């Protein structure tokens, strides 16, 4: 299969990879380092930082932080993970379902991260990627009687991704495992529900918006005491 046909077959996955690579190049230029990004640069570009997100109302950072990475290892491992699970998601889910799961997993994963580590700087697509992985798990659970052979390949990918993220979590201080777990849960629910009926995309999206609003209000009310 040629590169062009590969990209045409999985356009969303490659678009998401590109949307992470381009900001990384900008952050590397600003940091004057291709391997390790300057933390101040990441914050200026939209990294998660509780005092800004909750304290100053810069909720847009939940979105921008998904496309920033703390270093070359962080970026490469995340993009490799996305390459593995993203193509599978494009095969099994409609495009709007895939992108909704990706975004909501990343956004809610970011909120979970703010709750667990209110004063830390966080970046990365891991929460969203774990959401896509969770979506595949939900899909296989929903159709376990029909896709038993594919489930074995999925478990192999699971082992690879878990191993990758253990390395990331142990080697990069700006990576937050809590965001991974939050994204995984959001993706699993979305994958299970939307594989049952893709028309439930609006109900799923509305439910995730509601979850975000509730979490945001809770964080706003508890943030000061959490920091103390």
**Selected catalytic residue, list 27, 69, 81, 180:** 180
Q: Give the Å distances, CA to CA, from 101 to 61, 104, 142, 176, 186.
A: 18, 5, 16, 19, 7
The DSSP 8-state label assigned to residue 118 in this structure reads T
Which H or E run includes 218? helix 201-227
The DSSP 8-state label assigned to residue 156 in this structure reads H
Q: Indicate if 126 belongs to the active site.
A: yes
Strand residue runs (E) in the chain: 48-49, 121-122
**Selected catalytic residue, list 27, 113, 126, 174:** 126
Is the four-CA dihedral 197, 203, 205, 211 of positive or negative sign? negative
Q: Give the Å distances, CA to CA, from 202 to 9, 108, 198, 210.
A: 25, 17, 9, 12
Q: Dump the DSSP string for 164-201.
A: HHHHHHHH-TT--HHHHHHHHHHHHHHHHHHHH-GGGH
Q: Indicate if 69 belongs to the active site.
A: no
Helix/strand/coil percentages in the chain, nearest 5: 80, 5, 20
Residues with a known catalytic role:
126, 180
């Amino acid at each position: 299969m040629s590169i062009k046909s590969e990209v045409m077959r999985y356009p969303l996955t490659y678009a998401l990879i590109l949307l992470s690579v381009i900001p990384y190049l900008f952050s590397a230029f600003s940091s004057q380092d291709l391997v390790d990004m300057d933390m101040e640069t990441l914050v200026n570009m939209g990294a998660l930082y509780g005092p800004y997100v909750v304290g100053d109302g810069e909720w847009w950072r939940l979105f921008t932080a998904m496309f920033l990475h703390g270093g070359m290892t962080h970026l490469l491992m995340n993009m490799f993970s996305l390459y593995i699970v993203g193509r599978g998601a494009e095969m099994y889910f409609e495009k709007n379902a895939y992108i909704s799961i990706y975004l909501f997993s990343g956004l809610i994963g970011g909120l979970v991260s703010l709750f667990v580590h209110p004063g830390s700087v966080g970046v990365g697509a891991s929460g969203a990627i774990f959401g896509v992985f969770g979506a595949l798990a939900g899909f296989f659970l929903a159709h376990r009687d029909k896709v038993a052979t594919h489930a074995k390949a999925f478990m192999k990918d699971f082992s690879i991704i878990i191993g990758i993220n253990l390395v990331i979590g142990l080697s990069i201080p700006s990576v937050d495992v809590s965001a991974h777990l939050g994204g995984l849960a959001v993706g699993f629910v979305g994958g299970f529900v939307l594989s049952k009926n893709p028309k439930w995309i609006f109900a799923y999206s509305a439910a995730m918006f509601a979850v975000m609003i509730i979490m945001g209000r809770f964080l706003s009310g508890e943030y000061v005491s959490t920091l103390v």
